[in-house]
Structure 1
Amino acid sequence: MDSAAASAKRFPRVALFDLDGTLLDSAPDMVATANRMFAARGLPPVDPDMLRKHVSKGARAMVAAMFPDLDEAGRDALVPEFLRVYREELGRHSALFDDIAAMLQALEDDGARWGIITNKAEYLARDVLAGLDWQQRCAVLVGGDTYAEKKPHPLPLLEAARTLGVAPGQCVYVGDDERDVVAARAAGMASIAVTWGYRLDGEDPETWQADAMAAQPRELLDPAAWPAPLSP
């Protein structure tokens, strides 16, 4: 693509994002949550680098990483406590990744709409939006419990497109986990895999077969970095 064509390219009309590890560096809130639970049990602080790798996998995965000696039933019993404490810590330590605010503003300036599809419980995701003052800016929010299925199932993405009144193929989905790419592919959406988020050792985004990849949020300030939607 020559420079004139690149400068003329626009962002997709609908950009949909994962939340944790994609827009928001929420790991510090999770670490604070783990440390409160550990302190209550007389345990030393959690290894933040260890826990950070599990953030995109959800509350159960984080509890499993925190308490590896517990069986599944024991870990599941701690999930409500984790969510309760996390809600109290939510937004106190987290921050947007660098250039995310500028990227969202660039989308809006180009007339595009954006929304969030996360596996985080919807009530927690709404708390995040309120803390960021995004309630009016975010065109659609889908949580992990909004519908009967969550990512990697395509249903949340399909319902988000339906809510916005667009065909799924008109959307581009952006996420930091393989399930984001899997869900987008199943929904008929183009996808971007971002590599600044949270991944377990051995996970290789190159193998996810996303339509595009981005190593830094500032790359997505350029419309040319975005794949073309799969339908006009």
Structure 2
Amino acid sequence: MQLRAVFFDLDGTLVDSLGDIADAMNHALVRHGLPAHPEPAYRRFVGEGVRELARRAVPAGREELAGLVLETYRAYYEEHLFDRTAAYPGILGMLSALAGQGVVMGVLSNKSDGFVKQLVERLLPGVPFRVVYGERQGVPRKPDPTAVLGMAAELNVEPLTCGFVGDTAVDMLTARAAGMYGVGVTWGFRDAEELHSHGARVVATTADELLTALRTARI
């Protein structure tokens, strides 16, 4: 049996947002007298929500500033959401091909829900996502499976018939916890070793490989 639905992570999977995230957090850190980080460091900071991002970015011993840094980050990021962020190469074509096969699709991110919806609407225009959610009050973040199981129920598909695509251990753990087919991608924030070790059924290195992996998945 083939996949009936596929849910995608956003940052590091569909869109390359690392530069804007790093710029916004470094702005917030410097604004509060704290040292900035090199952009590649943010590959390890992101993935578990904005509060965790701020906690990781603030140096040890200055944790009391994390709340202020977070507020400054959010305000700056909202104004600079599209400065450098773009869809990864081949993503729009891959999504279009998948939709053409009748696979229903959704997006689930640990980024704030409002930012997720803005990014999807502008950077992935015309993609027929049926459900798009970010972090929402009262709904546990990934890797807790509550949100993605709710999305499957909303689409009236069994979790076993769903794929979950992402670029971090958090995404693969989400897939496992939900009983979904986990597919990792290596163009985002983490490497293939992390993805395999946390339960990826297959790992793709290009959008074409991802499309093939989703087309040929057997559940």
Quick check: 1:59 aligned with 2:59? no
Superposed counterparts of 1:1-232, under 5 Å:
12-38=3-29, 40=31, 46-132=37-123, 134=125, 137-145=128-136, 147-199=138-190, 204-222=194-212, 226-229=216-219
TM-score by length of 1: 0.82
Sequence identity of aligned pairs in percent? 31
- TM-aligned CA deviation for residue 66 of structure 1: 3.3
CA distance in 2, matches of 1:186, 1:93: 33
Paired AA for residue 213 in structure 1: V
- TM-aligned CA deviation for residue 115 of structure 1: 0.7
Residues 28-60 of structure 1, C-alpha deviations (whole Å, 9 max, x = no match): 111221343355457776411122332323323
Q: Tell me, yes or no, if the aligned pair for 2:6 and 2:106 is still in contact at 8 Å.
A: yes
**Using a 3 Å threshold, how does the CA distance of structure 1 residues 193 and 74 change in structure 2: closer, same or farther?**
same
CA distance in 2, matches of 1:214, 1:100: 12
- TM-aligned CA deviation for residue 61 of structure 1: 3.5
Residues 126-172 of structure 1, C-alpha deviations (whole Å, 9 max, x = no match): 11122225476211112221652121111011100011111111110
RMSD, aligned CA:
2.6
Aligned residues: 219
TM-score by length of 2: 0.87
CA distance in 2, matches of 1:144, 1:103: 25
Paired AA for residue 102 in structure 2: G
Q: Tell me, yes or no, if the aligned pair for 2:159 and 2:179 is still in contact at 8 Å.
A: yes
Q: Tell me, yes or no, if the aligned pair for 2:2 and 2:161 is still in contact at 8 Å.
A: no
CA distance in 2, matches of 1:23, 1:226: 20
Counterpart of 1:174 in 2: which secondary structure?
A: strand
